[in-house]
Chain A
Amino acid sequence: MSARAEETRLARIAYLRRQQPRPWFLYLSLLAIILAGGWAWTAGDLYTSVLTASQRSANLERFIGKLTPAPVQASGDWSDFRPWAMELLVEGEALKAVGMTLALATAAAALSGLFALLFIPGAARNLSTPRPLGITGGRDTFPLIWDIINKVSRLAFVFTRSLPEYILGFLLISILGPDPWALVLALAIHNFGILGRLGSEVVENAPPRPARTVIAHGGGRLGAYLAAILPESFNRMVVYFFYRWETCVREATVLGMLGVISLGFLITNAKAARSFDQMLFFVLLGALIVLAGDLLSLLVRRWLRVER
């Protein structure tokens, strides 16, 4: 090939390259992430510890020494483990705590799901517009209303999502007193935001044909939502429900630290009493429940044949 042809080709390539907009936003984001990471690592300690290294290792030694169950440590025989564990489960109220943990999670997931379902049609961009699903809804006296409904429900979702369960639980208990329902409310408020957002994405991505048919036959937005979109995306919604239930179980184990009987409560008590063997037992029990919850959620997903 002649040098001249090659030159025009290179010029053409340079031209094409200039035509394509540069992804400045990506570059800047990358730079920002690197800078933020560097800042985080170089800006000093998060917490200035008062302990010296030797105190620390002494602590660690004592902690590890007390991890084996007390009767086993005394007799050196692991057959003493069973009665000890049984006693903790029944008389130490661990079973009750497990039940409470699961009940907290279930009640919270159900409440948040129910309320999210009420807000979802408002937050879904394809429903709360003057032209639901691309079909004109006739002349609206006040078309802006849909925009407002949309913005408000979205804001409600983001705001509730941004409040961590633990802080909500703390605030609610300090206001309402130590009642399990305060914790249910805390879990439900946070998960309302998450389920609402996931649900409105499901509604936005649902196949529009059936819903359009409902509207074309004179139904309203709510009719389309209840009769076409919800049945259509039932499986996906249930999968999300179980996904959040799974995380609720995980979260409920720690919310007990705020002073209501659940595993977290037993863990903090055991820590305060310096019975680290019991503490470890409760921690592992909690892990077991979370794993069981994971498994159940996985089985439901399989059963409904939807991937998350």
Chain B
Amino acid sequence: MLAGTYRHYLGSRRATLLAITLCVLVSFWLLGLNPLRLFSGNNLTLTRDFLLSAFQPALDYQKPIEGAEPFLLTVISTTLLTLRFALLAMSVAIPCGALLALLASTAWWPDIRRHKMLGWVLRPLCLSSRIIMAFSRSIHELIWGLLFITAMGLSTDAAIIAVAIPYSGILAKIYSEMFEEHSREAQRALQAIGAGSIVAFLAGLLPRALPDLITYTFYRLECAVRTAAVFGFVGIETIGYRIKLASDEFHYREIWTYLYVLFAMIMVIEWWSRALRKRMET
């Protein structure tokens, strides 16, 4: 019996690895099997220039521009704009995601065998919010952005909503998974002493899941900062926009400055999230 399950286990492992390898080989073949042609001729010098510039990020424009704002001021205002975009998108996505997550999860439901009527209301609500969740996150935020821009032109609201839609879906998915995954012992204990299902959820499950919820939300904020940077490519003057301008002029050292700024922002968010988590857990 034991040997049998063990063998099965090994088999499933080997099969997984084999299947992955096979898929990878097919993909390599589809992509053309010569990745090394990337680094031929002129590319090599460009690559070297680019990598060497990492050691001397620009503190001023590589080619001075008459009458322009000082470089470092531009960096600061770009950083602030990127951060602001991320915050705006998240402040829409978090409440929407939390609402969707609650609708999609069964953790706070009363016993629907007892409340038949309620079951008829809750089940369709749950299903439809799951569908909304899956659909909204299956389209990338940049594509949402593109759709909004072609539909009615670029604007602050369009950009925020384009990011908030898929982000609400992703947050909702993870939140609801966390509600379902956390151990229910406290919730059940509270129900056994007469708590209603919603109160038992609020007092027994939510506090338990809170550290995980917060950690994940911070991770999403980190992603939002990156997305905000990328939205520079559709016209909002965030980090991506500056990188694009600098790249058009081959100003690699300026690019590195912006990359380092992005890195610093991500580091700060990660540090903050870790510090919060440590204080909430121990």
Direct touch of chains A and B (CB < 8 A): yes
A294 touching B266 by the CB < 8 A rule? Answer: no
On chain B, the residues within 8 Å of A29 by CB distance are: 272, 276
Number of A residues whose C-beta is below 8 Å from B?
A: 76
Q: Does B68 contact A (CB under 8 A)?
A: no
A291 contact set on B, CB distance < 8 A: 134, 138
Contact between chains at A303 and B85 (CB < 8 Å): no
A55 near B: Cβ within 8 Å?
Answer: yes
B98 at the interface (CB under 8 A from A): no
A contact residues around B200 at 8 Å (CB)? none
Q: How far is the CB of A169 from chain B (nearest CB, A)?
A: 10
Is the beta-carbon distance between B138 and A47 smaller than 8 angstroms? no
Residue from B26, B143, B230 within 8 A of A164 (CB atoms): B230
| A103–B276 touching, CB < 8 Å | no
Distance (whole angstroms) from the CB of B181 to the closest CB of chain A:
6
Q: Does B235 contact A (CB under 8 A)?
A: yes
Query: Is there contact, CB below 8 Å, between A39 and B226?
Result: no
Give Cα distance in the complex from A184 to B38, angstroms.
12
A residues in contact with B275, CB < 8 Å: 25
Report B-chain residues with C-beta under 8 Å of the C-beta of A286: 138-140, 143
A83 located at the interface, meaning its Cβ lies under 8 Å from any Cβ of chain B in the complex = no
Contact with B along A126-168 (1 / 0, CB 8 A): 0000000000000000000000000000000011011110110
A300–B23 Cα gap in the complex (Å)? 15
Are B146 and A46 within 8 A (Cβ)?
no
B87 touching A36, Cβ below 8 Å? yes
Q: Which of B12-20, B99-107, B113-121, B191-199 contacts A (4 or more CB under 8 A)?
A: B12-20
Contact A47 B135 (CB under 8 A): no
The distance from the CB of B69 to the nearest CB of chain A, in whole angstroms, is 17
Bound-state CA distance A166–B46 (Å) is: 20
Q: Could you tell me if A40 and B84 are in contact, using CB atoms closer than 8 angstroms?
A: yes
Contact residues of A between 210 and 264, Cβ < 8 Å to B: 234, 238, 241, 250-251, 253-254, 257, 264
What's the tally of chain B residues with a CB closer than 8 Å to chain A?
A: 74
Chain B, residues 111-145, CB within 8 Å of chain A (1/0): the string is 00000000000000000000000110111101100
Q: What's the Cα separation between A238 and B9 when bound, in Å?
A: 14
Minimum CB–CB distance for A183 against chain B, Å: 9
Of the candidate stretches A11-19, A71-79, A116-124, A174-182, the one touching chain B is A174-182
List A contacts of B135 (CB < 8 A).
Answer: 287
In the docked arrangement, what's the CA distance between A161 and B269, Å? 13
- A177 to B279, alpha carbons, bound, how many Å? 48
Pick the residue among B46, B87, B134, B151 that contacts A175 (CB under 8 A). B46
User: Which residues 90-107 of A have a CB within 8 angstroms of B?
Assistant: 99-100, 102-104, 106-107
Instruction: Mark contacts of B244-282 with chain A using CB atoms, 8 A cut-off: 1 yes-contact digit, 0 otherwise.
Output: 100100000001000100110111001010011001100
A232 to B139 alpha-carbon distance, docked (Å): 36
Query: Are the C-beta atoms of B87 and A37 separated by less than 8 Å?
Result: yes
CB–CB B226/A23 < 8 A: no
The distance in angstroms between the C-alpha atoms of A39 and B87, with both chains bound, is 9
What's the least CB distance linking B156 to chain A, in Å?
A: 5
Closest A residue by C-beta to B38: A176
Partner of B28, one of A64, A107, A176, A251: A107
Question: With A and B bound together, what is the CA distance between A181 and B28 in angstroms?
Answer: 9
- Taking a contact as CB atoms under 8 Å apart, the answer to whether A184 and B31 are in contact is yes
Check: A59 CB closer than 8 A to any chain B CB: yes
Q: Smallest Cβ distance from B166 to chain A, in angstroms?
A: 9
Chain B contacts of A283 at CB under 8 A? 139, 143, 147
In the complex with contacts A51-B153, A290-B138, A25-B279 CB distance below 8 A: yes
Cα A220 to Cα B91 with chains together (Å): 49
Residue B37 is within 8 A (CB to CB) of chain A in the complex? yes
The contact string, 1 if C-beta is below 8 Å from chain B, for chain A 267-308, is 110010000100100010011101100100000100110011
How far is A179 from B235 in the complex, measured between Cα atoms in Å? 25
A250 to B140, CA, bound (A): 6
B24: shortest Cβ distance to chain A, in Å? 4
Which of B32, B143, B235 has the largest count of A CB atoms less than 10 A from its CB? B143
A276 touches B150 (CB 8 A): yes
Measured between beta carbons, the chain B residues less than 8 angstroms from A47 are 154-156, 159, 235-237
User: What is the minimal beta-carbon distance from B278 to any residue of chain A, in angstroms?
Assistant: 9
Q: Are B152 and A56 touching (Cβ within 8 A)?
A: yes
- B229 and A59 within 8 A (CB): no
Interface flags for A39-81 (1: CB within 8 Å of B; 0: not) read: 1110101110101000111011001100000000000000000
* A254 / chain B contacts, CB cutoff of 8 Å: 140, 142-143
Hey, which chain A residues are within 8 Å of B155, CB to CB? 45, 47, 49, 51, 56
| Cβ–Cβ < 8 Å partners of A55 in chain B | 153
Given contacts A59-B151, A253-B140, contact A181 B43 (CB under 8 A): no
> How many angstroms between the C-alpha atoms of A26 and B24 in the bound complex?
46
Q: Is A110 an interface residue (CB 8 A)?
A: yes
In the bound complex, how far is the Cα of B240 from the Cα of A228, in angstroms?
43
What residues of chain B have their CB less than 8 Å away from a CB belonging to chain A? 12-13, 16, 20, 23-24, 26-28, 30-32, 35, 37-39, 43, 46-47, 50, 81, 83-85, 87-88, 91, 134-135, 137-140, 142-143, 146-147, 150-156, 159-160, 177, 181, 226-227, 229-230, 233, 235-237, 239-240, 243-244, 247, 255, 259, 262-263, 265-267, 270, 272, 275-276, 279-280
In the assembled complex, 19 residue pairs joining A and B whose CB atoms fall closer than 8 Å, in A order, are A25-B279, A41-B91, A46-B81, A49-B154, A49-B155, A59-B152, A100-B30, A103-B27, A162-B267, A164-B226, A164-B229, A166-B240, A170-B247, A171-B247, A175-B47, A181-B31, A250-B140, A268-B146, A279-B147
